[in-house]
């Protein structure tokens, strides 16, 4: 039996060897507080309905870590995911991830509506179809690394499917679990907990609490599993009296209908849309111009350091992008920040000079 002192110094040594570095989540400021995307860590994302929490979870805890892994960052992490997608189909999830990829790789916004030609005036053009074909190799990678469960979710189903997935990457023993690669990350995403089904004799809250408890048990036992939970805020979060008092920012109270999810999570993030609450300005940002393109990302809880910080994000639904915005006193043309192309213009490190011709590399990695 290992002693507490030995376990402590093992973690210290692993850190000195660079083994406690997480994969990028797409925001340098957020990474400075949560240390990136790491194995054995529980994440919770919350927001009111319609703010984009599912897309943000895919952007931050699937797409960004995957892209940076493909770029050669932290190769030992070998990230995989099990998705309990209770709201979106697999094709809808792929559409969001592919739109992120196409924007980064080719600098083109390709909407979900356009991808699937939803509407008489929205038939996918030949050139856009060619972009989708060029993204086929990326979709092959998604097929390899993402496992989907589509159906009703109860505690019994959760345990069965997660344990089945974990057996692919290690083995359970009487004393615990031996991973094939102790540095690997298996993200287990539940989107979202409002859609969990209660089994006979239980309330929905009791079912959620049981799944949350199981996720902590498996996280601690395997040390490679990272639960990624998505929760919808309770109805009081948009209470008009609360808005009048200037208390619109998300807080831990907004999760009170989500059972033990908040207490069991090590990192808790919340999204806030000032435009949704008809605010014309917010923390010196011009919301009247930015409208739905501004999202405030709140780090409400971090077991690993500082919390109660807000990261301003530009949200671009057509390409499913969340991009960290400059400080308000550094913005002189708000119209510029209503499109994700401002970020491409600022990526000076992606400019390559070849044969006296300047070419723009939209993404560092190649497939």
| % of the chain beyond a pLDDT of 70 | 90
CATH 3.40.50.300 is held by the domain 38-360: yes
Q: Say which range, 137-151, 285-299, 347-361, has the weakest mean pLDDT.
A: 347-361
CB-based contact 362:345 (threshold 8 Å): no
Residue 242 CB-density burial (10 A; 0-12 exposed, 13-18 middle, 19+ buried): middle
For the chain, how long is the longest CA-to-CA vector? 72
Q: What is the mean pLDDT of the chain?
A: 87
* Helix H or strand E segment including 160: helix 155-166
Domain ranges of the chain: 38-360
pLDDT class of 359 with cuts at 50, 70, 90: very low
Tokens 């995911």 sit on residue? 81
What's the pLDDT at 176?
92
**Whether the Cβ atoms of residue 299 and residue 30 lie closer than 8 Å to each other:** yes
Instruction: Provide the token pair at 51.
Output: 């703010």
DSSP characters over 51-77: S-HHHHHHIIIIIHHHHHHHTTSSGGG
pTM of the model: 0.89
**If you compute the radius of gyration of the chain from its CA atoms, what whole number of angstroms results?**
21
Q: How far is CA 62 from the centre of its chain?
A: 6
Q: What is the mean pLDDT of residues 256-275?
A: 88
Q: Each residue of 198-215: pLDDT tens digit?
A: 888 888 889 999 999 999
Which pLDDT value is given to residue 257?
Answer: 65
Is pLDDT at 349 greater than 90 in this prediction? no
């Amino acid at each position: 039996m290992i002693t507490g002192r030995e376990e402590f110094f093992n973690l210290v040594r692993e850190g000195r060897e660079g083994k406690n570095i997480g994969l990028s989540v797409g925001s340098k400021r957020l990474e400075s507080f949560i240390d990136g995307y790491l194995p054995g860590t529980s994440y919770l994302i919350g927001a009111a309905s319609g703010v984009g929490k599912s897309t943000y979870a895919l952007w931050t805890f699937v797409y960004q870590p995957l892209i940076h892994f493909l770029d050669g960052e932290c190769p030992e992490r070998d990230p995989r995911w099990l998705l309990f997608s209770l709201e979106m189909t697999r094709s809808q999830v792929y559409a969001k991830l592919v739109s992120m990829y196409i924007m980064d790789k080719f600098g083109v916004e390709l909407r979900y509506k356009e991808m699937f030609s939803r509407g008489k005036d929205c038939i996918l053009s030949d050139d856009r179809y060619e972009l989708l074909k060029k993204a086929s190799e990326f979709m092959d990678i998604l097929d390899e690394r993402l496992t989907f469960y589509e159906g009703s979710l109860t505690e019994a189903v959760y345990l069965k499917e997660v344990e089945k997935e974990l057996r692919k990457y290690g083995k359970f023993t009487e004393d615990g679990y031996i991973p094939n690669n102790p540095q690997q990350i298996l993200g287990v995403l539940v989107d979202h907990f409002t859609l969990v089904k209660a089994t006979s004799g239980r309330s929905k809250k009791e079912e959620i609490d049981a799944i949350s408890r199981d996720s902590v048990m498996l996280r601690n036992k395997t040390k490679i599993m990272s639960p990624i939970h998505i929760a919808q805020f309770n109805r009081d979060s948009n209470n008009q009296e609360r808005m009048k008092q200037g208390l619109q920012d998300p807080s831990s109270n907004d999760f009170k209908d989500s059972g033990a999810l908040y207490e069991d999570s090590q990192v808790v993030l919340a999204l806030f849309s000032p435009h949704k609450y008809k605010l014309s300005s917010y923390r010196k940002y011009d919301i009247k111009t930015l409208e739905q393109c501004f999202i405030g990302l709140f780090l409400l809880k971090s077991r690993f350091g500082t919390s109660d910080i807000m990261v301003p994000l530009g949200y671009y639904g057509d390409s499913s992008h969340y991009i960290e915005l400059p400080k308000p006193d550094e913005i002189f043309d708000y119209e510029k920040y209503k499109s994700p192309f401002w970020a491409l213009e600022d990526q000076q490190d992606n400019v390559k000079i070849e044969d006296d011709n300047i070419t723009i590399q939209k993404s560092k990695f190649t497939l």
